[in-house]
Amino acid sequence: MRQLSEADRDAIRLAQDPQFPRWLDQVTATGGCAHPVHLSGSTTTLDATTGEVLHHYDTRNEPGERLLVRCRNRRATVCPACSRLHAGDTFHLVRAGLLGGKNVPATVRHRPRLFVTLTAPSFGPVHRTGGQCRPRRDRGVCEHGHPLGCGAMHGPDDAAVGRPLCAECYDYTGHVLWHAHASKLWDRFVIDVRRRLASSVGLVQSRFAEHARLSFARVAEYQKRAAVHVHTIVRLDGPAGPTHEPPAWGTADRLTDAVRASARRVQVRTPYSPAVGEVVLRWGAQLDVRRLSVGDGPDDDAVAAYVAKYVTKGASETGAGTDHPLTTWHDIGMVPVSEHIRTLMRTCWRLGGLYEYEHLRLRAWAHTLGYRGHILTKSRAYSTTYAALRAERAHHMGHADGQDDIPTQVTDRHWRYVGSGHTPGAALIAAGIADDLAESRRLGAEAKQEGEWRL
């Protein structure tokens, strides 16, 4: 036993516990969650008229007198099991807005729909892939003595990709401030698209909501240069949302023109700072607008899968920061990131100490390089919600029997948080369960594609 690792010894100890089968059932029910939440308490369902106890559950009979539930972390680097579940929920949420389902009518697939990619502007030349990096006939140098070009052929995994040709020329301040205002820039973009659609048909802008509704779902992704860009699905509905057809003037051409014009025109001005001045922030010049048409263009399932893939990626996985906040200036020097990322973090910390940028909370968000928006956001009428998908899954798995909907019954709950995570041996077992479930899903998907699985 002494020659075994701590994790192996702990796993053997767990397996010898009389309550191990029940503990294993709990871990399996969480899908092999890497950091489960431990709860203690009870739930009692009573007949409201007679007071008779219809159902009672108490964790005093559970292993360790606690119940394990999923952490629900979306990041694959934190919890692979829960991130896979979150990606699946995101896929169905996005897909429902494209093809219908989940209480969304199938007619939405015939609406004007676009898949739009909005990028950050340039903050300075960086190394890139695809042929020669930055070929130049002359051998010019910048004011700091660094070459203005690069004739190398960088591979996709080359560490130089995304890093500035000259760090001293790179606009780190503009990069951080753009991240801090990206959500505000998005809000203005959506408002401006509505205004341009209204103006294009002679409507008063305030009356647009009486004729049409703009629905969207967007996901943020860090590029190699550590700048966020946005993938978004935009759909034009009638005034009541997905249940109403858009007006006759609501065409894909008109929506495309409005999106392109708004992406070029909208801007956000930062508060004036004696140290920085006033900075005008816009979207980047690179704009990709693709129509989503039935039988033409990108496949709807592929678009939904593409969006879901990026939802589970944390900052550390993309190499654009860390998944944990930084508490001191010295923490920045300890994180395992490139010097380019570290400089962005230090810029966040420096700007966060200025009074005029205090409301941006740049130090609190230095680990994500100043970007504090949600990875996925959607308009209310786009499709279903994560809460509805989770409730549907719980009902399907038998974790919700609908008793709370019966007016003659009363449910009394008393729960408290008592811990989280696994011991070394438990973590080893949970990881094995998560891998087995993932492999089972993969094999099931392959069998379904090959026609070997009949529902």
Summarised one tens digit per residue, pLDDT across range 82-140 is 888 888 888 888 889 988 888 899 999 899 999 999 999 999 999 998 888 999 888 88
Least confidently predicted of 48-52, 203-207, 342-346? 48-52
106: which 2 tokens? Answer: 């199938």
| pLDDT confidence of residue 446 | 74
Whether residue 212 is predicted with pLDDT greater than 90 in this model: the reply is: yes
* pTM for the structure as a whole: 0.83
Whether residue 272 is predicted with pLDDT greater than 90 in this model: the reply is: yes
Q: How confident is the model at residue 454 (pLDDT cuts 50, 70, 90)?
A: very low
Maximum average pLDDT range among 42-51, 173-182, 315-324: 173-182
Within 212-370, residue ranges assigned H as helices are 252-265, 300-311, 315-318, 329-332, 339-352
Write down the mean pLDDT value for the chain: 88
Q: For 370, left (φ over 0), alpha (ψ -120 to 50), or beta?
A: left
Answer with the residue of higher pLDDT: 407 or 52.
Answer: 52
Residue 205 CA, chain-centre distance (Å), reads 32
| pLDDT confidence of residue 307 | 80
- State what percent of residues in the chain have pLDDT above 90: 58
396: which 2 tokens? Answer: 């399907």
pLDDT, tens digit, 9 for 90 and up, residues 224-247: 899 999 999 999 999 999 999 999
Question: What phi, psi does 132 have (nearest 5°)?
Answer: -65, 140
Strands 287-291 and 280-281: unpaired
Answer with the residue of higher pLDDT: 259 or 301.
Answer: 259
